Chains A and B, each alone.
Chain A
Amino acid sequence: MNIKNAKFAWVLCAVALLASGTFTACGGSSAKGSSSAKSLNAAPDVTFKNLDGADVPLASLKGKVVLVNFWATWCEPCRSEIPALIGLQDKYASKGFTMLGASMDEDGKKAIDPFVANTKFNVNGTEKTMDYPIVLGTDAITDKFGGLLGMPTSYLISRDGKIIKKYIGVVNEDDVTKDVEVALGQG
Chain B
Amino acid sequence: MRKTPKFPVLLALLVIAFGAMIVSALRAQDSAAPRSAASVTTNKVYTSLEPVPRGKEFQVAVVVNIATGYHMNSHKPLDTYLIPTTITPQLPAGFTLKDTVYPPGKDLKFPFSPDKPLNVYTENVTLRLRLTADEKAALGDTSIPIKLRYQACNNSACLPPVNVPVTAQFKVAAAGASAKAVHAEIFSATAK
Contact = CB atoms under 8 A, between A and B. Distances in A.
Say whether A and B bind each other: yes
Interface of A: 1-2, 5-6, 8-9, 12-13, 16, 19-20, 23, 26-27, 29-33, 72-78, 80-81, 104, 106, 115, 119, 149-153, 168-170
A28 to B, nearest CB: 10
Interface in B86-139: 110-113, 118
A169 B81 CA distance: 19
Q: How large is the interface on B (under 10, 10 to 19, 20 to 34, 35 or more residues)?
A: 35 or more
Contacts of A16: 14, 17-18
Given A1-B7, A23-B22, A23-B25, A77 B158 contact: yes
A31 B81 contact: no
Contact of A12 (B11, B81, B151, B153): B11
Contacts of B110: 76-77
B10 interface: yes
Contacts of A19: 18, 21
Nearest to A27: B28
Given A1-B6, A81-B112, A150-B157, 7 more contacts: A9-B7, A27-B28, A30-B29, A74-B81, A149-B159, A150-B154, A170-B112
Contacts of B79: 76
B156 A76 contact: no
